[in-house]
Amino acid sequence: MIVGSLIVSALPKPKDRVKIVYLTMLFAMGTENFILAFSREPVLWCTGQAIGWLFVPVMSTNLEVILRGSIPVELQGRVYACRNTLQFFTIPIGLFLGGFMVDDVCEPFMVRHGDLPILRTLFGIGKGSGAALMMFILGVTGSLICVIVGGRLKKYHYNEM
């Protein structure tokens, strides 16, 4: 996060902050989740996490500029309270669903079908192959959401005065 914050402070002001938000999320989510899904070494997992989180400050900074510049000051407290509520109450839900998916869906799936050459090659065999499958699913769905939402956001541009 510190490296990402230094990167943000060194970058010039972007022409299209909306585009920066969805492209950094696409890159961060895709890179991190696919490295976690396809690698078998802890050092690569750490590298994937670092790459994934490196661009989060870039995304956050641009989102903050958009929100602060487009929401009237008298409404910012309400909007930020609502945003933070929605953002932070979903974290435990996501952790619960992720654990459920790994333990009750992906691991059993890999036990039954993990001997298929494509699955064995991509996700390995045995304990942890279901978690790799889950990271792959998360990477694909997250990347698709970023691409779909990014396509819809192309008509919006935010350039501060």
| Tens-place pLDDT, residues 1-21 | 676 678 777 778 888 889 899
C-alpha distance from residue 26 to each of 19, 59, 130, 152 (Å):
11, 10, 23, 14
Classify 141 as helix, strand or coil: helix
> What is the tens place of the pLDDT at every residue in 66-103?
999 999 999 999 999 999 999 999 999 999 999 999 99
In this prediction, residues 52-66 reach a mean pLDDT of 91
pLDDT, mean over the chain: 90
At residue 158, does pLDDT exceed 90? no
Question: Which tokens in the block code for residue 92?
Answer: 């435990």
Specify the pTM. Answer: 0.84
At residue 120, does pLDDT exceed 60? yes
Label residue 160 by pLDDT band (50, 70, 90): low
Which pairs count as long-range contacts for 74-79, CB under 8 Å and 24+ apart, including other chains? none
